[in-house]
Amino acid sequence: MYPTDLSESQWQFIKKTLQLDQRKRKHSLRSIWNAINFLVKTGCQWRMLPTSYAKWQLVYYYYKKWGDNEDFDLLLAKLRECVRIKKGQNREASLGVIDSQSVRWGNNRSMNGYDGNKKIKGIKRHVVVDKNGFLLAVMVSVANIHDSKAALLLMRVLKSLLCNIKVIIADGGYRGEIIEQVKNKFGYIIQVIMHSDRKNAAFEPIN
């Protein structure tokens, strides 16, 4: 038993959402999910998975299979919908927030970039979340790509999800031509909020 193992309610949610078959296996699908959770949480290498789990090759097989089938995306969408409904919100978000974060990446065998703004050599995560902070779309690039350039690629990911987003809140890194480009190409309206605007804005908790 590890802290990352699924609870009964979590497993029932996954099983129902993905309509997993119930046939008997040497290693249950629940144990495979537990192994994936352990790996994602700890960041260990595939070959370093504890021996209490199935062999890493089998775990990786299901990880790739579920990833290729977009099962992880489906689970994320269903979880987001459930929480939004519990909060009394619409099932789908109409407002998104876009941002990026540069992080150091020590793997010299993969591509790295240097973010001159943040003085960080590594990679950059680009995300769009709803007003609760729940993930809608994500992509990873080298750190030296400008936010506005990455935004076009991220909007393509967002559009492919067929979600109900209409307005996207952004900071000053998304000013300029990108606003018109996103509107013309994808139909999203980008509203830029500068840091100076935030200083005087009163804190409003999310209902």
Domain map of the chain by residue range?
Answer: 8-69, 91-197
Rounded-to-integer distance, Cα 52 and Cα 37, Å: 14
Look up residue 203 and give its DSSP letter. Answer: P
Residue whose C-alpha is closest to residue 70's, from 157, 164, 140, 166: 157
Give the list of residues 6+ apart from residue 82 with CB closer than 8 angstroms, or none: none
180, 192 Cβ separation under 8 angstroms = no
30, 4 Cβ separation under 8 angstroms = no
User: How many Cα atoms occupy the beta-carbon half-sphere of 204 within 13 Å?
Assistant: 7
Look at residue 103 in the predicted model and tell me its pLDDT: 81
Query: Looking at the chain, which runs of residues are DSSP E strands?
Result: 95-104, 113-115, 120-129, 135-142, 167-170, 189-192
User: Please, what are the averages of pLDDT over each run of 10 residues along the chain (207 residues)?
Assistant: 94 94 87 97 95 96 96 94 94 93 70 67 88 92 85 91 89 90 94 70 44
Rounded-to-integer distance, Cα 73 and Cα 92, Å: 14
**Domain covering 91-197, topology:** Nucleotidyltransferase; domain 5 (3.30.420)
Look at residue 20 in the predicted model and tell me its pLDDT: 87
